[in-house]
A and B are shown apart, each in its own frame.
Chain A
Amino acid sequence: MSSSLEKNMLILRSSDGEEFIVPEVVAVMSKAIKNMVEDECASNTIPVPNVDANILAMVIEFCKKHDESEAEAASDLKTFDSEFVNRGQEALYDLITAANFRDVKELLDALCQNVAEMIKGKSVHHIRIQFLGYQLFEILTSNFIWNIWCDRDFD
C-alpha cells in the first residue's frame, strides 16, 4: 500500500482511468469488490471496468450516503434514494448495469423500483415509446394506414 493512503482506504479506477479513493466499508457495499478484498486478490488499486468515472462517482455517492446514514431514520434514506434515482434514461441505464455488474444490492433495488414506477399503469404503447424507442408517429401512421384499408373495404 502506498504511504499516502490511510488504512482501510481503497482506490477504485474507472474504465476511463480516473481514480477514486474511498473507505473500504463503502467500497465493500459492492459484493463483487467485497469478494475481491476478502480473497485478497486486490492490490491497492481496484479496476472497475465497464463503469466510467461519471457513473462510478454516482455509485460511490450513493454508497457513502447509505454507509453514513445507517443510524439515521429510514425515511430520510428513502427520500434520498428516490431523489438519487430520479435521472435521465441514459444515466439510469448505466447505473443499473453498473449496480448489476458490481452487485450493489441497495442501489439495484432502488433503481429497479424507480423503473417499475415508470412502468406501473402504463399501456403497452407507452412502454414501447418510452423504453423501446418506438416513435409515436409510427404507431399513429400504422393506424392511419389501417383505417384507410378498412374504409376502402367497407364504404
Chain B
Amino acid sequence: MSRRVRRKVARKGKDKVVLPSYPEIEDEGLSLDQKVVVDWTRLPDDTVIQLFSSLNYRDRASLSSTCRTWRSLGISPCLWQSLDLRAHKCDVTTAASLATRCMNLQKLRFRGAESADAIINLQARGLREISGDYCRKITDATLSVIVARHEALESLQLGPDFCERISSDAIKAIAICCPKLRKLKLSDCLHVDEIALANVVSLQFLSVAGTTNMKWSLVSQHWSKLPNLTGLDVSRTDVVPTTVLRLLSSSRSLKVLCALNCAALEEDANFASNNNKGKLVLTLSTDIFKGLASLFADITKKERNVFSDWRNLKKRRRTWMKS
C-alpha cells in the first residue's frame, strides 16, 4: 500500500472506505471517445496568463491543479495583485502557504481578527491597500505589527464594526511606519484621540466616523497641521458647529467634509445656511447629490447620476460615504 493510500485510509478511520465517485464526470456529459488532438500545455505563457486572468479564483485553482506547467504559470505574480480573504478563514499556516505567491500583492481584504494576525505571514512587503471587516478584536499590537511590515501602505480601512481595542498607540505606530499613507478609515474607534491622528501627516482622506473619544474643541488646532488633508468624514459623532467652521477656515487643503447623522449640527439652524468658504460640507440637511455633482462638474450632467458616473469613471479619489 502506497503512503498516499495509507494516509487517505487512515483519515477515514475504521469505517468502510467510501467509494470515491466522480458524479461531475457523468453530469458534464463527457463522451468517452473525446479525442484531444493538440497539446494545450504548449500554449504561449502570456496567453495562458490571460486565460487565468479571465477566470475567477475557483476556476484558477482548478486549472492550476491540472498539470505542472499550468501550476507554475498560475503562481505568476501578475495574477496575485489583489487578494480577497473575506470568505475564508485565514490562519497562520494558510497565509504561510500563500506567501510564495504574494510577493507582489498590492491589495488585500480580510475579515476578522484571526486573519489580521495572519497577514504578516503573507510576506507581502509591497502591500498598498488593506481593508478589514469585523475587526472588533483586532489589537494595538496586531495593527502595529501589520503597519510595521508594510511600509508602502497607502490605504488602511478598518470597519464597519467597532474597533474598540485600537488606541492612540497604534495610530502613532502608523504615523511612524507608513510615510505614504493617504487614506485612513477607522470607524467607531473608541480610544483614538485627535492628537495621535495629527501625527499622520501624509493623510489625504481621513474617516473617524462614529468615534467617541475626540475632544472636538481641540480638533481644528491639531488637524490643521495635516498639510494634505482633503477629505474628512466625521459622521455619527458629536461634533459641534464651531469645530466644523474652525476646521474649514484653518485647514487650507480641506475640500470636502462629510458630517452625516451628527445631532449637534442638525439642531443648529444657523449652521446649514452658513457660507462654507467654497468648501463642500455634506450633512443630512444639505443636498448630497447636488454637492457631489459639483465635485464632478465636468463629467456629470444629471445630479442623480453622480454615483453611477463616478463608478464609471473609477476615480481613485473618493470620500467615504456613510449613511
Contacts and interface: CB of A to CB of B under 8 A. Distances in A.
A100 B43 CA distance: 9
Given A108-B47, A132-B67, A153 B9 contact: yes
Given A126-B24, A131-B66, A139-B22, A93 B40 contact: yes
B44 A127 contact: no
A123 B29 CA distance: 13
A127 B66 contact: yes
A150 interface: yes
Contact of A112 (B1, B41, B50, B63): B50
B54 to A, nearest CB: 4
B36 interface: yes
A151 B66 CA distance: 28
A132 B22 CA distance: 18
A116 B55 contact: yes
A132 B41 contact: yes
A119 interface: yes
Contacts of B47: 96, 100, 108, 112
A36 B16 CA distance: 68
Contact of A137 (B5, B32, B67): B32
B65 interface: yes
Chain B facing A: main interface SS: loop
> Contact size class for B?
20 to 34
Contacts of A116: 51, 54-55, 59
B16 A130 contact: no
Contacts of B22: 123, 125, 139, 143
A89 interface: yes
A98 to B, nearest CB: 11
Contact of A126 (B17, B28, B32, B56): B28
Interface in A107-144: 108-109, 112-113, 115-116, 119-133, 135-137, 139, 143
Given A108-B50, A147-B19, A97 B43 contact: yes
> Contact size class for A?
35 or more
B30 interface: yes
Q: Which of A90, A122, A137, A150 has the most CB of B within 10 A?
A: A150
B44 to A, nearest CB: 5
A96 B44 CA distance: 9
Contact of A149 (B1, B30, B37, B56): B1
A89 B56 CA distance: 23
B38 A124 contact: no
B270 interface: no
B16 to A, nearest CB: 6
Contacts of A108: 47, 50
A150 B9 contact: yes
B34 to A, nearest CB: 7
A132 B55 contact: no
A150 B24 contact: no
B51 A112 contact: yes
Contact of B36 (A119, A124, A133, A153): A133
B62 interface: yes
Nearest to B54: A116
A25 to B, nearest CB: 25
B20 interface: yes
A63 B22 CA distance: 42
A122 B44 contact: no
Given A89-B36, A112-B47, A125-B22, A119 B59 contact: yes
**A-B pairs with the 5 shortest C-beta distances?**
A133-B36, A93-B38, A116-B54, A150-B17, A131-B40
14 contacts: A90-B37, A96-B43, A112-B50, A116-B51, A123-B22, A123-B24, A124-B66, A129-B25, A132-B40, A135-B32, A146-B5, A147-B17, A153-B9, A154-B16
Interface of B: 1, 5, 9, 16-17, 19-20, 22, 24-25, 28, 30, 32, 34, 36-38, 40-41, 43-44, 46-47, 50-51, 54-56, 59, 62-63, 65-67
Given A97-B43, A123-B24, A154-B9, 20 more contacts: A90-B37, A93-B43, A100-B47, A112-B47, A115-B51, A116-B51, A119-B51, A120-B56, A123-B25, A123-B62, A124-B62, A126-B24, A127-B63, A128-B66, A130-B30, A131-B66, A133-B36, A139-B22, A146-B5, A149-B1
